[in-house]
Structure formats: C-alpha cells, structure tokens
Amino acid sequence: MHDVTLRDGEQMAGVVFTAEDKVELAAALDRLGVDRIEAGMVAVSAEDREAIKAIIAARPRAEVWTIARATPKDVKLALDCGVDGTGVVLLANEQYCRIFRWTLEDVVSKAIDAAAQARASGLATTLLIADSTRMTEDRLRYIVDSATQSGHFGALALMDTFGALSPHGTREMIRAVRSMTTLPIEFHAHNDFGVGTANALAAWVEGADIIHASVIGLGERIGNAPLEEVVLAARLLYGAESAIDLSQLTAITQLVSDRARMPVAPNKPVAGVNYTRIESGAVASEFVRWSAMPDADLQWIFPYTPSVVGAAPVELVLGKGSGMANIDAALGRIGSTLPDAAKAALMDTVKVESSRLHRELTIEEFGAFAAAAS
C-alpha cells in the first residue's frame, strides 16, 4: 500500500495540511502499517520539504517517497530531502503534449534522464504515467517499452488521473501492460465515478504489485480510492495479506478528517459513524435478541464486526423508525423505567417529534420526554 494522503490528498480543493499535520499524519500512517508514505511534492514549497525531512527524521518503518517533475532541479530537491524513492511524473498523453508543445519522444527522454539522475544517487524510482488510462495503446506501449529498456525505473505506475476507468477496464489495462513489461506495476485510482475502490481491487486481482490510496479518499477533484475501503475489502473479501492493522482504521479516518477539516459522511463505508447506529425498530429488536444469546456473533447483523476496524460500539438511536427495543435501550441509558403503556406513548412521541424535526432525537431530548411521561 502506497499512501498518497499527504500529497494527492492535499490537492483536494480546500484541504491544507501544515508541516505539523503532515508529521503527525505520517506517524499515524506508519503505525497503521502502510508500506510507503508519499509525503508531498518537493516542488510545492519549502514548508513541504521541511515536513518531508521531519517525517524522515522520525525514522518511520514505512518508506518515505515524494514525486518529482522530470527536471534535474526536482530530483536534486528530492535527494536533498533524503527520501527513499521518488515518482517521476510523465505528462505524455496527446493533450499534455499539445498544451506544453512537447513531443512524445522528448518528454519520455526527459523522464528517463531524471530517473537516471535519481537512481545514480541511490533513490528508488517509479514512472508515474499520468492519464495512462486514456492513452492509445501504441502511445502507452512506446512509453512502457522506453521506460523498461532504459533500466532506470523500478516500477511503472498506471495513473487513472481523471478517474475514467471501469473495473473491467482496469483489469484489461493491467493485463495489457503486464504483457509489455517485466517491471512491477503500480496502480493509482481516482474516484470520479465512485468506483475507485473497485478499480483498486480489480488492479490487485489482476496482478498490480502496489496500490495507491488515500485516507477517506482525499485527492484531486472527488478524490482517490479510499485506503480504508481498499485494505478492508482486500483483507476480508479477497484474503489479501498486508501489514495494515485494521483495528486502527476508524481512528486514522477520524484523525485525517479532523486535520483536513473535511467531514466524513455518516454513511461512508468504513469511516462513517452510522455503521454501528441502528434506528430501525425491527433491526434493533433483532440486535437485542441476538446479543442476549450465548456466544452470539455480531457478524450475523454486520458484514464485518465493528471491532475489526476499531469502530464505536453499537448504539440504538431514536427516530421515526424506532421501536420498543430503541426505547428500552434509551431508558436504560438514562437510568429510568416506565410501565408498558407509558413506554408505548413515549415511542409515539419519539416518532412524531423525529418527523417534525427531520432528524433523530438526542438522548437529552428523549430524557425530557421520558420525564414528562413518568
């Protein structure tokens, strides 16, 4: 797993990480177990370069990488920071070449020269083939052949820069490029169609060696494949082995959300708080009855048990769809008891008030209604 939260994640409009944020988040990512931390782009600012140096000074277990444009200046900046490796960005599709008035041959040659400079100084290198997913096969084959034959790249990264792939297209692309090279293949998904996780998994299934992702899916435009979704699905649905500690996923999504000032939708997979919050009276009743049985396994009610990702305990909440199990649980929380008739009336009040307010009720509001009903 190659985490891009600190670089591509920060490219999301409105997201800014201070140097202190980056050091803190890198430490959390290292504890989580990611293999690589892409700590920033060296050309962005002196502050980013100082943050990269501070991350490295903490001696993380994970490799620390950056990305560099195909220029001697950027490679030198990467070397000065002391990173383990750098991705060399290749802007070589037809549109990039038209915009910057480059030829394909020239831009590929500059990328190879930059990689040679990096490798000569001991850096690991990957060629980041921007928008590779929308190139013609001939153009992509020329790039792959040139990079492979140069001997200066340790891997090739297929970048779905504009989030244009389907899972089936991802598998076809990985298969096609695998036939062109013996170099390891990395895959970088964006989530514009909401299939970033599916594409990352499809790439891995088809044989991609390294998957790029970001915590809570931060990234340019709509964002990248969410790391927490990719690693959880890979482990539980596909049996993939990794160093990731799944029990830290909830904590790191909350930390990144806080530092990015980017709230997480309550219904977001893995990171959303609604995973363990039950409003439906029928489901709440099932949960209560099942939980009371000896050795009951919560996975009967959940696709994965909340403790696997360090999620909050199950909470029965109060809303329009709530039933008597929710009322009993809420009464237990406030240390109150009521006769059955009063509880039935209280349940009706909860439903009416939830409908009127267009939301669930807080435990304080429930307590006031319960006190009135006693």
* Structure confidence by residue, pLDDT tens digits, 266-304: 999 999 999 999 999 999 999 999 999 988 888 888 999
Mean pLDDT across the stretch 8-15? 98
Alpha carbons 360 and 344: distance in angstroms, whole number: 18
C-alpha 346/C-alpha 365 separation (Å) is 12
Strand residue runs (E) in 14-163: 36-41, 63-68, 85-90, 124-129, 155-159
Quick one: tokens of 234? Answer: 């890979």
pLDDT of residue 300: 86
φ, ψ (nearest 5 deg) of residue 188:
-125, 105
Q: How far is CA 68 from CA 89, 117, 131, in A?
A: 6, 12, 16
DSSP string, 52-80: HHHHHHT--SSEEEEEE-SSHHHHHHHHH
Residue 50 burial (CB < 10 Å; 0-12/13-18/19+)? middle
d(CA 240, CA 233): 9
Query: What is the rounded distance in angstroms from the CA atom of residue 79 to the CA atom of residue 241?
Result: 32
**Region 80-103: what's the mean pLDDT?**
96
Any idea what the Cα angle at residue 42 is, between residues 81 and 112, rounded to 5°? 95
Helix (H) or strand (E) holding 29: helix 19-32
Rounded distance between C-alpha atoms, residue 51 and residue 42, angstroms: 10
CA atoms within 13 A on the CB side of 29: 31
Domain boundaries defined on the chain:
2-260, 273-373
pLDDT in tens, 310-344: 999 999 999 999 999 999 999 999 999 999 999 99
Q: 214: pLDDT confidence band, cut at 50, 70 and 90?
A: very high
Mean pLDDT of 44-63: 97
65, with CB counted inside 10 A (0-12, 13-18, 19+), is: buried
Contact 227, 3 (CB under 8 A): yes
Answer for the pair 185, 158: CB distance below 8 angstroms, yes or no. Answer: yes
Does residue 119 contact residue 85 with C-beta atoms inside 8 Å? no
Which pLDDT value is given to residue 352?
97
Q: What's domain 2-260's superfamily in CATH?
A: Aldolase class I (3.20.20.70)
Q: 117-161: per-residue pLDDT in tens? A: 999 999 999 999 999 999 999 999 999 999 999 999 999 999 999
The whole-number average pLDDT for the span 77-105 is 96
Chain centroid to Cα 326, Å, comes to: 33
In this prediction, residue 85 has a pLDDT band, given cuts at 50, 70 and 90, of very high
CA angle 239, 243, 247 (to 5 degrees): 85
Question: How much is the pLDDT for 299?
Answer: 84
pLDDT in tens, 232-260: 999 999 999 999 999 999 999 999 999 99
What integer pLDDT is reported at residue 297 of this predicted model?
86
Distance between CA atoms of 51 and 54, rounded to whole angstroms? 5
Q: Taking the complete model, does pTM exceed 0.75, yes or no? A: yes
